[in-house]
Chain A
Amino acid sequence: MKIVFVAAAVLLVGLYPLVVRGPYPQHLMILVLLNALLGTAWNILGGFAGQISLGQATFFGAGAFTSTLLFQHAGVSPWLGLLAGAAVAAGLALVIGYPCFRLSGHYFAIATIAVGEIVGIVVTNWDFAGGAVGLFLPVEGESIGAFKFGDKLGYHYVIATLLGVSLALAAWLRRGRPGYYWRAIREDQAAARSVGVPATRYKQLAIAISAALTAMAGTFYAQYVLFIDPPSVLPLSLSIQICLVAVLGGAGTLLGPVLGALVLVPLSAATSVALGGSGRSLDLVVYGLLIMLIAAFEPAGLVGLARRLRGHPTR
């Protein structure tokens, strides 16, 4: 059953840009896939392991800046940059995790905010990284090798592949020992420790993987928009948005982030187009209302809602 479902999804995503030809709907789908990837990455740390991170943008920016700087200063191919960015982010994550995992719940969350803000301020004042001005990537020179495509198809398949790999990874981890330990840590860390679960080591694993995946999304973004600056890849609002995608869809589930992205991206675009042009922020008012409603009435997110409608009890 699941195989059929997965195959259908792969087919749909694979055929989408061939059937839907307008650049704008193609762009929206790319955004959906990108946000789904970011949500999945967050989910590993926040949903599976229960460590609420509100600083994912740090890793997103790390990926984007690493690959861009490597390209600009050493001519390194963005594909290698993709991997380098992931490595840098994972390293950064371990450094952050080591002290911060001693904190619990809200303290940890605010610590991730604090780290995010520090990194944002530092990069803004760091000329080598472009400072406040940001970094431009050249618009010409389209080819697969250059990780730059003239139309959206190439980008679509790249991000779809990244997402697929991440979901497969998440599914595999979840089913194996890491997932088992993470669940224990999430439910009750002290109890887990008392039965021998190496909590810190596994939390570190979670944040490293989460960071690596987020960083790859960052590199993708840089190659797609061809311009990065601290406000676009490092802000707190992005971290919140990433969190939101997973929570809306259903934190802790595999499909949650995907569903969340599928709903949030078009919604944001639609309200923005329909209402935002009036300059009166009505679209964001609706957005806020929706977030409240989901939080108040179906905290298990869309997945929870779906389960409820099918008659299963929610977690």
Chain B
Amino acid sequence: MTTAQVAQALVSGLLIGFVFALIAAGLTLIFGVMEIVNFAHGEFLMLSMYLSYFLHAGLGWDPIAALPVNAAALFALGVLVYYALIRRVLRAPMLAQIFATFGLGVFLQNAAQFLWRPDFRTLGDSWVTGRLAVAGVYVSGPQLAAAGGAVLTTGALWWLLSRTEVGRALLATAEDRHAASLMGINPDRMFALAWGLGAACVGVAGALLSTFYYVFPQVGSVFALIAFVAVALGGFGSVVGAFAGGVLIGVVESLAGVFVAPAIKNVFVFAIYLVVVLLRPRGLFGKL
């Protein structure tokens, strides 16, 4: 166990952790504002990745350059899902809400398989292909870019929430939707906005991931579970928490994989979750 190995494990873990963090941030935003867990979040990611793929294959657009398109498209999708489906289950029991988004996830995943076949697709070279070596630690270009993009986007989200009027309206709605509506904030619009922003976040994550991960209909499930755990770990509703959760999971997974045994690395991830929530039943930064 050399310092170089520890350093490599840490760096690798951090990089992927930032991507987890971004995916988790979108998820936690939706939950924070309306207490609904989006079980189709992974499928949003998958759709964004397919979008990047088709833009690249059809129009030759680099996924990083096309990133704003992903964000906009997924924003629209989030809003659409809110108005078409989520609105109807706002007052339904938690189970119904779980199954509404879960059903959406099953639908989207298999529609993707039906439309685009189950083949794996990769995007080939992009602007960020390549690898850096810094003091014996290897950093892959795409992963570094993804991490950077994730940090920037999460930061932008946090800034939006805490420093802009719209953001504060969102937070107010999350806090107490009745009080917020008394103040003239339209909760319906806020919910739609939360869905739009949450989806946009995962849309950005998808564009970033597509530069180094392969695209296929089930890719969402792989990341979604980690995102749920990250959100719960960080505290439902807290963007900072989701960020911390994502990074923590990335690092734990990496360290456990390198120094214990890769086959059971996820045991540590889930174990960390259990330990944290048992000590702090609302998660690291949870406020609900």
Contact = CB atoms under 8 A, between A and B. Distances in A.
Note whether A and B contact each other (Cβ less than 8 A).
Answer: yes
Contacts of A104: 281
B113 interface: yes
Given A103-B281, A107-B236, A288 B270 contact: no
B273 interface: yes
Nearest to A46: B95
A232 interface: no
A285 B95 contact: no
A292 B263 contact: no
Contacts of A117: 225, 266-267, 270
Among A99, A281, A284, the most chain B Cβ lie within 10 Å of the Cβ of: A281
B114 A99 contact: no
A102 interface: yes
Nearest to A99: B278
A291 B102 contact: yes
A216 interface: no
A296 B88 contact: yes
A292 B267 contact: no
A115 interface: yes
B273 A299 contact: no
Interface size class of B (residues with CB under 8 A): 35 or more
A121 B256 CA distance: 14
Interface in B42-67: none
Contacts of A292: 85, 99-100, 103-104, 107
A28 B23 CA distance: 40
Contact of A285 (B85, B114, B267, B274): B114
Interface in B197-247: 225, 228-229, 232, 236
B114 A281 contact: yes
Contacts of B31: 106
A46 B225 CA distance: 21
Nearest to A105: B94
A111 B264 contact: no
B97 interface: yes
Main secondary structure, interface of A, reads helix
A113 B264 contact: no
Given A107-B277, A118-B271, A122-B264, A288 B96 contact: no
Interface residues of A, number: 45
B17 interface: no
A240 interface: yes
Contacts of A124: 263
A144 B218 CA distance: 43
A139 interface: no
Interface in A188-210: none
Contacts of B278: 99-100, 102-103
A251 B281 contact: no
Contacts of B89: 295-296, 299
B114 A282 contact: yes
Contacts of B273: 110-111, 114
B225 A125 contact: no
A296 B107 contact: no
A244 interface: yes
A280 interface: yes
A183 to B, nearest CB: 14
Interface string A278-315: 00111011011111111111010000000000000000
A282 B95 CA distance: 25
A240 B102 contact: yes
Nearest to A294: B99
B93 interface: yes
B281 A102 contact: yes
20 contacts: A103-B281, A106-B232, A106-B236, A110-B273, A113-B229, A115-B270, A117-B267, A125-B261, A280-B114, A281-B110, A281-B114, A284-B113, A287-B106, A288-B110, A289-B103, A291-B106, A295-B89, A296-B89, A299-B92, A299-B93
Given A106-B37, A125-B261, 10 more contacts: A107-B232, A107-B283, A110-B232, A111-B232, A114-B271, A121-B267, A284-B106, A288-B104, A291-B99, A299-B92
Q: Top 4 nearest A-B pairs by Cβ distance?
A: A291-B103, A288-B107, A299-B96, A288-B106
